[in-house]
Amino acid sequence: MQRRLFTVGCWVAAWAAAAGASMVQFSTADLVDHATLVVTGTVEAMRPLPPDAQGMIFTEVTVRVNDAVVGATAEDVITVRAWGGEYGDLGVAVEDQPTFALDEEVVLFLAPAEGGGYHCPDGVQSKYVVVEGTVLPVGVTLTEFLAEVTEAAGR
């Protein structure tokens, strides 16, 4: 079986380069401003959805919430809808969107998604990975990073 992979981000990047644009790096305060919910959690499951009418694949990511740092959720488990994924023999990668892995510890800046659940409003910048207590790619401890997040939220 031959697998086809489309990289949507390359098309977007080529257009942006032609227009003289580049990705703007958001500060922690910007990320907090764009999110209604900031959580720490663990990725428990991922389920690709069939391509939509435009051929886009989304992946539903199930995250067990350890802590709601900004905003509130009564749910122990939330669903994050991410652009891209693999469905059957079709794969779609979106360059500026986050990817997820099972059992990955994360800090997520989220906003409500159309149709329920959440999405990453600032793409790849809305997701940080926690490895052995260090938040990547910023290289500070989780405690330090969450203190910065709560300070940015005005707590």
Q: Supply the CATH number for residue 140's domain.
A: 2.40.50.120
Q: How far is the C-alpha of 40 from the C-alpha of 19, rounded, in Å?
A: 36
| Residue 10 scores a pLDDT above 60 | no
| Closest to 24 (Cα-Cα) out of 94, 82, 96, 112 | 96
Q: What is the pLDDT of residue 155?
A: 64
Kindly state the average pLDDT of the residues 126-149: 97
Mean confidence (pLDDT) of the chain: 88
CA atoms of 120 and 118, how far apart (whole Å): 7
Q: What six digits make up the tokens of 155?
A: 């707590």
CA–CA separation, 79 and 20 (whole Å): 35
How many folded domains does the chain comprise? 1
Instruction: Give the mean pLDDT of 3-32.
Output: 61
| pTM given for the model | 0.84
- pLDDT value at position 92? 87
Confidence at 18, pLDDT banded by 50, 70, 90? very low
Higher pLDDT: 75 or 22? It is: 75
Provide the residue range defining the domain that includes 76.
4-152
Between the two ends of the chain, the Cα-to-Cα distance in Å is 53
pLDDT computed for residue 21 by the predictor: 53
Per-residue pLDDT band at 51 (split at 50, 70, 90): confident
Residue 144 vs residues 39, 76, 85, 132: alpha-carbon distances, Å: 15, 24, 32, 14
Per-residue pLDDT, 87: 86
